Structure 1
Amino acid sequence: MPVSIVVGGQFGSEGKGKVALELVRHHPRSAVIVVRVGGPNSGHTAYDRDGKKWALRQMPAACVDKNVDVVFPAGSYIEPELLLREIAELDYPLDRIRISPFARVITAEHRDWERQAGITKAIGSTGSGVGAAVLAAVARNAENLALSSPCAGKTELLRSFIHDVGAYLDTALSRNGRVIIEGTQGFGLSLLDGGFWPQATARCTTAAGALAEAGLSPRVVDNVTLVLRSYPIRVAGESGPLVGELTWEEVGKRTGKTGLEEFTTVTQTLRRVGEFDPHLVRRAISANRPDHVVLNHMDYIGEQEELGHRGSAVQNFLDRITSEIGAVHGLGFSPMGVVKHDGEGRLATSGA
């Protein structure tokens, strides 16, 4: 059952790409395939082995070492020009990219529709066109919705990448290849069960949703990793409730750090930040039943050296969080690695 799924437990930007990349590096001796579901309405960031930072919207962050096959399944939404630009910037091997003919294509028409509909302001949407592309696909050429839904298989720019993705993944799984599904956004943004509709994304962002978009059976999954962050964020504007909302200055004062402000990859606007919300995370855990939980952005709490020292800011925070949500198996103190954790202290540092 060699399928891993990486999903977010808050409102996105938890560090899913970094964690998915660590899973890739954990399987260096086996064939690895990274499946990118969803669309380019959020950015995934990772650092390659040379320490170069990549902020990608269409290609998966887990591919930055350029040693995996990348699959865009039927449940993905592709902006062709953006995809080709990222492929060129990465200098990615073209024969290692496969796109389902049934994947949907995002057009300028979709982006214009979202802006004209006012949802970029009303719900804090990035206006990337993904929601309109989902709507157009579900409408199925309805006469009273003037939105087209092009498929990848009939899009000239994507023609050379089109494959029978289902058959390819089935063959890879039969040979015990490792498939890693890199989910997008976070549980609190999920359309069906996030609990914050209408300030939600257009898709289900749980492990089950990502698996369905990948076109795979639940019977082939052997690992689900839920990724969290110490201070959850939401995008700017009317993007929905955020428990214990703070300013970035307030976060910095707690650790004496400056320059913690975060901006969205897509729109480059300042993100909102709030306190860790155990109620939201417990719901995410219930919906995803993860095998592992990774807590990133721990450097916003303190330093890695404080881990295991009773009374330190880091250990106090970790003790509180584990009492509220249960076990945490990995901690991220930098964008480039995760500290494995067993509840007692550091075990090993992996990643770049």
Structure 2
Amino acid sequence: MPISIVIGGQFGSEGKGKVALEIVRRTCGPVTVIRVGGPNSGHTAYDRNGKKWALRQMPAACIDRNVDVVFPAGSYLDVDILFREIADLAYPPERIFISHYANVITEQHKAWERSAGLISAIGSTGSGVGAAVMASVAREAGDFPLKALHARDHGQLQRFLHDTTTALYNGLQLDRRIVIEGSQGFGLSLLDGGYWPKATARSTTAAAALAESGLSPRYVDDVTMVIRSFPIRVAGESGPLPRETTWDEIARNAGMTCDLREYTTVTGKLRRVGEFDGELVRRAIAANAPHRIVLNHMDYLGPKEDLLRSFSSVSRFVSRIESVIGRRIDWFGFDPMSVVANDLTGVSV
């Protein structure tokens, strides 16, 4: 049952791309990576040479250039961004597979989002994903202004088109690992995140990512939920952020003088930040039933070297989080490039 799904348990930017890449690197044998969602969120990871890649369309788990990449029917493609990232990565085109039914974002979709005021009203990136979702659901209704476009009808995508569900199914019969790289986080989920209308245009659970991939739940043996020590939301009127604080306050509490401020990959806006909220993560656990939980951004508790030398402050922080979410943390991220296993008697890779 070789399907791994990586999803976020907060408001996105938890480090899903890094974790998906880690799973790929720990897998023996060939791997296929599926990217669901669209370019309204960025995924970041570092390749083996230490180069940072912030990608909006290609999955972060592909940056070693050694996996097949699939965009299934439940993906939303900005063709210009896709081709730019393929060129930047120098990715082998024969290893990219796009469903005939994948959704293509048009200039009409992006213009509609700008004119609808969604950027200011809900903190939307204006990337056109929401409009493309609406156009698909409208099914060419005569009184709806947006039209859907699918990959099969876009000339530049013809060489990448495949029956992706059948190809993925055939790979599963050969025990080939599939890693689904989900996007955004549970708190942004359209159906069950709890913050509608300050939400994204799709459901962001593991089940939804699997459905967007066109695969059966019978093959899933690994669900990884990624959370961060201090959750974020994008700037502006993006919705409630329980226990909101400031980047300066986090640095001050950690005894750090460096600038911790984060900016969004897509819009470059300063992210809002909050203290850890156990209630949201508990709901995310209930909806996703993860096999593994990864806690990233542990370096916001203090300099990494100090934390690894004296694990007591980390242990207290982790114990508190495990108590409020009712689950053990399995992996930690102390930097943007790696994860370590949970061994509070000593850190093991």
Smaller-chain TM-score bracket:
over 0.9
Amino acid at match of 1:234: R
CA drift at 1:345 = 3.9
Match of 2:332 in 1: 331
Report the 3-state secondary structure (helix = DSSP H, G, I; strand = E; otherwise coil) of the residue aligned with 1:333: strand
Q: Are residue 285 (structure 1) and residue 285 (structure 2) matched?
A: yes
In the TM superposition, what is the alpha-carbon distance from 1:257 to its structure 2 partner?
Answer: 3.4
State the distance in 2 between where 1:299 and 1:175 align: 40
Letter in 1 for 2:274: G
The structural deviation recorded for 1:154 is 1.0
User: What is aligned with 1:180?
Assistant: 179
Paired residues of 2:32 and 2:70 also in contact (CA < 8 A): yes
Tell me the SS of whatever aligns to 2:201: coil
Per-residue Cα deviation, 1:276-324 (whole angstroms, up to 9, x for no partner) = 00000000001000000000000001244535956x3322111111111
Q: Distance in 2 between matches of 1:192 and 1:146?
A: 24
Q: Which residue of 1 aligns with 2:6?
A: 6
Q: 2:142 is paired with a residue of what secondary structure? A: coil
1:195 partnered with 2:194: yes
Structure 1 pair 280–344 and aligned structure 2 pair: CA distance change class (3 A): farther
Residue 259 of structure 1: CA displacement? Answer: 1.2
Letter in 2 for 1:294: V
**1:46-61 to 2 correspondence within 5 Å?**
46-61=45-60
Q: Hey, what's the Cα distance between the residues in 2 that align with 1:321 and 1:257?
A: 25
Q: Does residue 209 in structure 1 map to residue 201 in structure 2?
A: no
Matched, 1:17 2:11: no
Q: Deviation at 1:258?
A: 2.0
Q: Deviations along 1:156-212, whole A, 9 cap, x unmatched? A: 111110011011101100000000000000000000000000000000000000000
Q: Please tell me the root mean square deviation across aligned C-alpha atoms, in Å.
A: 1.1
Contact 1:306 1:315 in 2 (8 A): no
2: CA distance, partners of 1:185 / 1:327: 23
> Counterparts of 2:190 and 2:273 in 1: how far apart (Å)?
21
Q: Distance in 2 between matches of 1:316 and 1:76?
A: 40
2:12 matched to 1:26?
Answer: no
Matches within 5 A, 1:36-115: 36-115=35-114
Seen in structure 2, the aligned counterparts of structure 1 residues 340 and 131 have a Cα distance that, compared at 3 Å, is same
| Distance of 1:306 and 1:146 partners within structure 2 | 55
Matches of 2:291 and 2:308, distance apart in 1: 22
How far apart, in 2, do the equivalents of 1:260 and 1:308 lie?
Answer: 22
Corresponding residue SS for 2:244: coil
SS for the counterpart of 1:347 is coil
Contact 1:114 1:132 in 2 (8 A): yes
TM-score by length of 1: 0.96
Percentage identity across aligned positions? 62
Distance of 1:317 and 1:331 partners within structure 2: 12
Alignment partners' CA distance in 2, 1:240 and 1:343: 36
Distance in structure 2 (CA, Å) of the matches to 1:253 and 1:303: 12
CA distance, structure 2, for counterparts of residue 136 and residue 257 of structure 1: 48
For residue 264 of structure 2, what is the aligned residue in structure 1?
Answer: 264
Contact 1:55 1:265 in 2 (8 A): yes
Q: CA deviation at 1:36?
A: 0.4
Distance 1:86 1:347 in 2: 34
Alignment CA distance shift 1:308-1:187 (3 Å)? farther
Alignment-derived partner of residue 121 in structure 2 = 122
Q: Secondary structure in 2 aligned to 1:66? A: coil
Q: Match for residue 313 of structure 1?
A: 313
Cα deviation, residue 49, structure 1: 0.5
Is residue 188–residue 200 contact of structure 2 (8 Å, CA) maintained in 1?
yes
Aligned position for 1:302: 302
